[in-house]
Structure 1
């Protein structure tokens, strides 16, 4: 497995340095736009855009590594949808406009159409069956929901008809869904790593009976389980990222395995962090709780764990 390799080290280093200098999530709209332009200026949304379309041409493998770092830092914004919009309309990669999106393909009839980060967005990418639309936010009617699950992921409900400019057909729609699944899994992997780090660091310094709680066997087992979950998820994600650029892309259940394992690692590790931190962990706005909420949000992006488990099962049945 060649992912990651030395060629990706500068990317990781630059992104980690940027995120370390911007630990506090921007809240005011003007601050968010400045932060977003700076993030786009690093080339985050240009990584997977082909060089002939003025992108960096490094493929989805580099994007997966970048999104792993973004997930680890609990970075805000419509990250996945911005990347998908840049793949559909490469001029959006520079961050001068913010794009979010929604997938209507598998939405049950009568369910509301929900869009994340709509208040700060300029464009909305819509995947609707075999077509891809790009809509202006100002042309749509929507209502901001009062209490989103994740306080850093505001959600709005579209109230009127969706009208937009067609920018792609069935082939692009399928490619964007696959990329969205991969990048959602990458964010989840980053969350699992952050949860493991949070729990481990706390267990090293928190003392009971004049000993760090990390020396207790019960806590060691919890952290060991987190480590194993993260390792399995990382292997699945990196394998899926490489297969997306191989001739076998589109076959098999590699993406479903990655999304399933990364989702379970993020949820399981965040729950463990809540438990290890005890009373602090159960506080609503501490890091473990924020990691857990973001994991739950991403669990429902581009297929739930249950849906991907069914896809893996069907793929195994077809092989047998």
Structure 2
């Protein structure tokens, strides 16, 4: 399996990163945190103009027709920038599922144009995100995936992440468009990719602080203890990235063991982001956990996504069931099958 990022993928990723760096920095995050909607119409329109809502929609249906691997690369950039807009749920999870289901060309066209957003609901989450701004909702019920137009009246809940708008689950209804497993696999994969992007952002902030903060006459980044903490976190981050890429390829190709690879990716990404958040707090010292430090936006997103679409225990159970149950053969002869 080749994990080399192609020139086209690198160009796309860099373009999205540059755009988000220009419009979605800490200043915007603080402005959104102080507003009522926690959303920016200008940022959403910019994402639409870049064609991102149609990223994973086949060309025959008006989209860009890119792969799930491309999707996780963009999801990582959304995490890196701390994007509040529900692009990941609509464009990187709902859109490819609806395209695969067939018969949803009108809705897909509306998604591509930025006129429709899809909220996601599954029993593994005690909430549904961004249902207030959604036009439709994909719900898992009794193993099926149902699509319905969104109705009003959902109860707003609290979130550790001030920029996540969470609501109480609603009664699942609608037409069947797939299976519940496809929803949790795609959503968990995209959450994992965002977690790695979040970890990269926290690493950058901690490293920059370590370069500029001096103690005992030198930058604290020169001390071995700080270097070792950061290096340990970097290893976790870099080891998580190919695991996520493998899961994306396996899921995109419909591999029989894709769900196990997704669970592995979610665990690896969660562990990496969690370790990076702890390290970043330590590097920032007594300032690390305060609201005045921008780091807290990414830490809170990390904590929120760590438990979204299956926490660590949930995904460990899925891996255990596959390995112990024999559906995932292990050993040297199967490592690269």
TM over 0.5: yes
TM-score of the superposed pair, with normalisation by structure 1: 0.88
CA contact (8 A) 1:195 1:269 kept: yes
- CA deviation string 1:16-60 (max 9, x = no partner): 121012121454659623321321221223222122222211110
- The 2-side partners of 1:167 and 1:74 are apart by 33
Per-residue deviation, 1:295 = 1.1
Partner of 1:118: 131
Cα deviation, residue 167, structure 1 = 4.7
Query: Where do 1:46-85 residues align within 5 Å?
Result: 46-83=54-91, 84-85=93-94
What does 1:12-27 correspond to in 2, within 5 Å? 12-22=13-23, 23=25, 24-25=28-29, 26=32, 27=35
User: What does residue range 25-40 of structure 1 map to in structure 2 within 5 Å?
Assistant: 25=29, 26=32, 27=35, 29=37, 32-40=40-48
User: Do residues 133 (structure 1) and 133 (structure 2) align?
Assistant: no
- Secondary structure at the residue paired with 2:56? coil
* Cα displacement string for residues 194-234 of structure 1 (whole angstroms, at most 9, x for unaligned residues): 11111111111100011110111111110011110111111
C-alpha displacement of 1:255: 1.0
Following the alignment from structure 2 to structure 1, what is the Cα–Cα distance between the partners of residues 251 and 167?
Answer: 32
Among 169, 172, 183, the alignment partner of 2:178 is 169
Measure, in 2, the Cα distance between the counterparts of 1:221 and 1:175. Answer: 39
Offset at 1:61? 0.6
**1:292 shift after superposition:** 1.8
Provide the aligned length of Structure 1 versus Structure 2. Answer: 308
For 1:55 and 1:249, locate their aligned partners in 2 and report how far apart those are by CA, in whole Å. 27
1:246-291 Cα deviation digits (max 9, x unpaired): 3635446211111100011111101111111012212035333222
Which residue in 2 is equivalent to 1:96?
115
| Whole-angstrom CA distance in 2 between matches of 1:165 and 1:276 | 49
In the TM superposition, residue 123 of structure 1 has moved relative to its aligned partner by 2.5
- SS of the equivalent of 1:244 reads helix
Bigger shift: 148-157 or 86-95?
86-95
Conserved 8 A contact 1:60-1:179 = no
2:164 to 153, 164, 178: 153
Question: Helix, strand or coil: the match of 1:133?
Answer: strand
List runs of 5+ in structure 2 lacking aligned partners: 99-103, 331-337
Task: Pick the aligned partner of 2:95 from 69, 73, 86.
Answer: 86
Out of 186, 190, 209, the position equivalent to 2:193 is 186
8 Å contact from structure 2 (residues 161, 304) kept in 1: yes
The two structures, once aligned, show a CA RMSD in angstroms of 2.2
CA apart distance, 1:310: 2.2
Farther off after superposition, 86-95 or 213-222: 86-95
The structure-2 alpha-carbon separation of the partners of 1:205 and 1:168, relative to structure 1 and needing over 3 Å to count, comes to: same
1:141–1:3 distance in 2 versus 1, CA, 3 Å: farther
Classify 1:20/1:218 alpha carbon distance in 2 versus 1 (closer, same or farther; 3 Å): same
SS at match of 1:77: coil
Match of 2:11 in 1: 10
Structure 1 runs not aligned, ≥5 long:
108-112
Secondary structure of 2:168's counterpart equals strand
Q: What TM-score comes out, normalization by structure 2 length?
A: 0.84
State whether structure 2 residue 309 is matched by structure 1 residue 291. Answer: no
5 Å-filtered alignment, 1:302-317, equals: 302-317=309-324
